[in-house]
Amino acid sequence: MGYTITEKLLMKAAEKSAIKTGDLIVGKLDMVLGNDITSPVAIAELNSHGIDKVFDKDKIAIVLDHFAPNKDIKSAEQCATCRNFAKKHSITHFYDVGKMGVEHALLPELGIVKPGDVIIGADSHTCTYGAIAAFSTGVGSTDMALGMATGKCWFRVPSQVKIDLIGKPSPYVSGKDVILHLIGLIGVDGALYKTIEFGGDGIKYLTIDDRFTICNMAVECGAKNGIFPFDEVTEEYAKDKNYDYEVFSSDEDAVYEKVITINLSDLKPTVAFPNLPSNTRTLPFDEEIKVDQVYIGSCTNGRLSDIAAACGILKGRKIADGVRLIVIPATQKVYLECVKLGYVETIINAGGVVSTPTCGACLGGHMGILASKEVCVSTTNRNFVGRMGASDSKVYLASPLVAAATAIEGKLVSPEKYMGSDIKEQK
């Protein structure tokens, strides 16, 4: 019996020659991640047990991205705790204001996570790094503390689900539409504590950024991790990084609990209605949904390609009266490129605003809080009750293309009518 890529990565970490679904294993970690919300809890846990050292200062990353720049005194104290800890232990990968970015965009950008790694992070969307053929999963702050102290973490070997992607997507269908379609198909618990492995001939049409978006939201259907195989797209991405990496691949006789086939050529722009990522519908639809705010950013869709796609629609146009357009580049590098390429000017000329990298609005923290009964179309990953503000506000999840078209119309619309040469070139 063969093994999947995820099973091979876990065997490597646990230094085992064989494992099976359900086994409890302890594995060595290549990277332990925390942010300004979760790291202080982990640090307090270390302190409570009198642990005064970390296993490897080069294999811990702390990114101040949720409430930084600090929005209030409490968030300032949380960040101060992280700064003091990072200084005390000479943490190599500590990123504060001016250097930080949204963690799940920043770590791949800097080459801190790489193919073949086993990674945990005290943030549920740590599963993002499966896009580059790594095993990565979110954990609680207690497990983060254990990881920082010992360089190890326990795992229950997940069962394996294969998503066979076939066909070629249209120019107005992106990775966001693919993952929203899947979540709508199987539900928010459809892959509970399972691996979702993406494969099939269709993946060659998915860019590395599409894959980051897809793996980022694997947790929204309950998955332990999402993962793509290492292929030509991954190799092209990795060649510019200054790192060595290992390549693992699934065996032909690997065992999957189920295989789901999705024809990318059948997909349409997909939107998750409130209040679950699985409450999906495809555009266009008859109901008119007016919006108060459009948010483009986050660890899901704040990369350069996302903002480029949105600006392909926004350029030379104005957003609708009464709509607030907020665009947050995911990292400082992305922000700088947006300035150089004229995207910031395009957004401002359209009537939008651009802010420093932050997770803020995505989790209802700052830089885009919703008031009572307000409606937002967002490129983020969750739309639970009160996720971005008031408990009676409404969040619709969509791709950057849908978000940009919606900002212009003032209501949820398909981007197809705005498709021009700039956008087609992005795909």
Q: Quick check: 310 pLDDT over 60?
A: yes
Average pLDDT over residues 115-121: 98
Residue-wise pLDDT for 123-139, tens only, equals 999 999 999 999 999 99
Average pLDDT over residues 138-149: 98
Residue-wise pLDDT for 192-236, tens only, equals 999 999 999 999 999 999 999 999 999 999 999 999 999 999 999
Q: Quick check: 420 pLDDT over 70?
A: no
Average pLDDT over residues 110-133: 98
Q: How confident is the model at residue 426 (pLDDT cuts 50, 70, 90)?
A: very low
Measured in degrees and rounded to the nearest 5, phi and psi for residue 33 equal -120, 145
Nearest to 92 by CA among 168, 31, 50, 13: 31
% pLDDT > 70, the chain: 98
Q: Is 308 exposed, middle or buried (0-12, 13-18, 19+ CB in 10 A)?
A: buried
Average pLDDT over residues 294-301: 98
Sequence-distant (≥ 6) Cβ neighbours of residue 95 within 8 angstroms: 61, 62, 63, 64, 65, 101, 106
Average pLDDT over residues 385-413: 97
Average pLDDT over residues 251-268: 97
* Residues 317, 348 contacting (CB under 8 angstroms): no
pLDDT of the residue at 242 = 87
| CA–CA distance, 400 with 155 (Å, rounded to integer) | 35
Average pLDDT over residues 175-182: 98
* Residues 89, 57 contacting (CB under 8 angstroms): yes
| CA–CA distance, 27 with 14 (Å, rounded to integer) | 4
Q: Does domain 271-426 have CATH number 3.30.499.10?
A: yes
pLDDT of the residue at 240 = 87
Considering the domain delimited by 5-264, tell me its CATH architecture.
2-Layer Sandwich (3.30)
Q: Quick check: 22 pLDDT over 70?
A: yes
Average pLDDT over residues 393-406: 98
| CA–CA distance, 417 with 341 (Å, rounded to integer) | 24
Worst-scoring range by mean pLDDT, 60-64, 86-90, 266-270, 286-290? 286-290
Domain map of the chain by residue range?
A: 5-264, 271-426
Q: Quick check: 423 pLDDT over 80?
A: no
Same fold, 5-264 and 271-426: yes
More confident residue, 55 or 366: 55
pLDDT of the residue at 74 = 96
Token pair of 308 as six digits = 């480029």
Q: Quick check: 424 pLDDT over 50?
A: no
Reported pTM: 0.96
pLDDT of the residue at 421 = 42
Average pLDDT over residues 170-175: 95
Average pLDDT over residues 386-412: 97
Average pLDDT over residues 264-273: 97
Residue-wise pLDDT for 60-101, tens only, equals 999 999 999 999 999 999 999 999 999 999 999 999 999 999
